[in-house]
Amino acid sequence: MSAERVVLVGVAKGRSARAVALESLDELASLTHTAGGEVVSTVVQERKSADPSTFVGRGKAGEIAAICREQDADLIVFDDDLSPAQARNLENLTERRVIDRSQLILDIFALGARTSVAKAQVELAQMEYTLPRLRRMWEHLSRTGGGIGTRGPGETQLEVDRRRIRRRIFTLRKMLEKFEQDRRVRTSRRKQFVKASLVGYTNTGKSTLFNQLTAANVSTGDRLFETLDATTRILRLPLKEVVLLSDTVGFIRKIPHHLVASFHATLECVIEADIMIHVADLSHHDHEAQIATVRSVLQEIGAKVKTEVLVFNKVDLTEEESNLNLALRKHPEAIPLSALYGWGIDAVKERLFQLVLDSKEEILVHLPPDDGRMLSYLHKYGTVLHQEMLDGRIAIRARVERRYMKPLTAYLVTIGSGPEVAS
């Protein structure tokens, strides 16, 4: 089947915003390609505010219609969200299908959803997006002739569809709540581990880095939103330390709020992470804007400011060394790497290892030999380095996160890294 021919439309609110609009349209073109479309033309309209009827104004809508006829385009994609009325008016004026950025992203997510959870999350977002737009979808009934006998069935079917969608939304929310409960049970068993999460703009190489760090086999295609489901693996570090590392969906500008809400359960691993490994694509000409977008989305989903490890990926694709030097001057703590070739992976592991050690205390405790509860607690929440019987007690040297120290205070012999602990 041949690809749909697509015209992209963006609005720049003032001349100074034209560069930003063009950058956003470049990204929209990548999204269109990911969805299987072929971009045949791009239109930018400069205006102070959106036209309430057609978003771009009737005159510009007429120009877009002419471009569609000239380029034999099937579809028009707007870079901003359209109201149902605006989309309906534009379709009438251009005689072409019209969708907006949110609908395009939802379509890409639907293509990429593989697990039942991801499919339910995407379907919920699509249903919530579709519900206020149902009337537009039933307009073909009023075009069959109008008058008596044509409006009634359409209105009846419209209400039937609304009820069906509302019921489906209710069912999907219940399914996702059940998934969330199951996920909380699973994560409660892992709470003794330090948790790290890979975050970043879509297509920056998070999954490739995840595979390098954990020897996993997560899909790493060169596509936007290649990863939709959260995947968690154990990352083993020196001196018996481990981290639970999660890879999840990438972020993007103008992310549809329905998706943020629907994917809340998947994004919980980001919200609950102790460490965020922020992967930025150094080869992208505006990686600073992408970094800012990711931090903005993290704030939107309720992820509090945590320990961030910024890594500059794709240094192998960076043409000028000066670009790397400039980026490192602005972000001196960042780690340059190439996840594809494995450069810099050891530096990431070393940074994580130091952060884990910084969160823990090395202690020596003496436990009564019959205190199985406390012995179990120490093995569960600490990294046991050495254990032996000493003067009728169990002497244990371990590293324990500070948040789990309180129950152990009565058994402490010493704390810190002095000779008594090291012995």
pLDDT tens, 239-294?
889 999 998 878 888 877 767 766 666 677 788 889 999 999 999 888 999 999 89
Is residue 294 a part of any domain in this protein? yes
DSSP 190-203: TTTSEEEEEEEBTT
Of 186, 213, 247, the domain-final residue = 186
Is residue 108 a part of any domain in this protein? no
What integer pLDDT is reported at residue 227 of this predicted model?
60
- Are both 131 and 162 inside the same structural domain? yes
Cα–Cα distance measured from residue 121 to residue 127, given in angstroms and rounded to the nearest whole number: 10
Of 101, 122, 138, the domain-final residue = 101
- Are both 346 and 408 inside the same structural domain? no
User: How many other β-carbons are positioned within 10 Å of the β-carbon of residue 100?
Assistant: 23
Determine contact, residues 212/205, Cβ cutoff 8 Å: no
> Which residues on adjacent β-strands are paired with residue 242?
236
Determine contact, residues 381/363, Cβ cutoff 8 Å: no
- Are both 229 and 318 inside the same structural domain? yes
- Are both 239 and 156 inside the same structural domain? no
**Tokens in use for 148?**
């008596």
H-helix or E-strand spanning residue 137: helix 134-137
Which class for 217: exposed (0-12), middle (13-18), buried (19 or more C-beta within 10 A)?
Answer: exposed
pLDDT digit string, tens, across residues 294-306: 998 888 777 876 7
- Are both 229 and 343 inside the same structural domain? yes
What integer pLDDT is reported at residue 298 of this predicted model?
86
Q: How confident is the model at residue 150 (pLDDT cuts 50, 70, 90)?
A: very low
Is residue 106 a part of any domain in this protein? no
- Are both 198 and 167 inside the same structural domain? no
Is residue 47 a part of any domain in this protein? yes
Q: How confident is the model at residue 151 (pLDDT cuts 50, 70, 90)?
A: very low
Is residue 306 a part of any domain in this protein? yes
- Are both 133 and 230 inside the same structural domain? no
124-138, 162-176, 314-328, 380-394: least confident range? 124-138
Buried b (16+ CB within 10 A) or exposed e, 289-328: ebbebbbebbeebebeeeeebbbbbbbeebeeeebeeebe
- Are both 201 and 335 inside the same structural domain? yes
Of 186, 204, 222, the domain-final residue = 186
pLDDT digit string, tens, across residues 209-231: 999 999 887 766 655 566 666 78
Is residue 74 a part of any domain in this protein? yes
Segments forming the whole domain that contains residue 126: 113-186
Is residue 307 a part of any domain in this protein? yes
pLDDT digit string, tens, across residues 182-203: 877 776 666 678 899 999 998 8
Cα–Cα distance measured from residue 56 to residue 47, given in angstroms and rounded to the nearest whole number: 8
Pairing of strands 393-401, 382-390: antiparallel
What integer pLDDT is reported at residue 209 of this predicted model?
94
Cα–Cα distance measured from residue 330 to residue 326, given in angstroms and rounded to the nearest whole number: 6
User: If DSSP codes are grouped into helix, strand and coil, which group holds residue 152?
Assistant: helix
- Are both 204 and 252 inside the same structural domain? yes
Q: How many domains does the chain have?
A: 4
Domain with residue 54: its CATH number is 3.40.50.11060
Q: Comparing 91 with 190, which gets the higher pLDDT?
A: 91
Is residue 107 a part of any domain in this protein? no
- Are both 318 and 415 inside the same structural domain? no
Determine contact, residues 245/213, Cβ cutoff 8 Å: yes
**Tokens in use for 135?**
């009337």
- Are both 351 and 218 inside the same structural domain? yes
- Are both 197 and 344 inside the same structural domain? yes
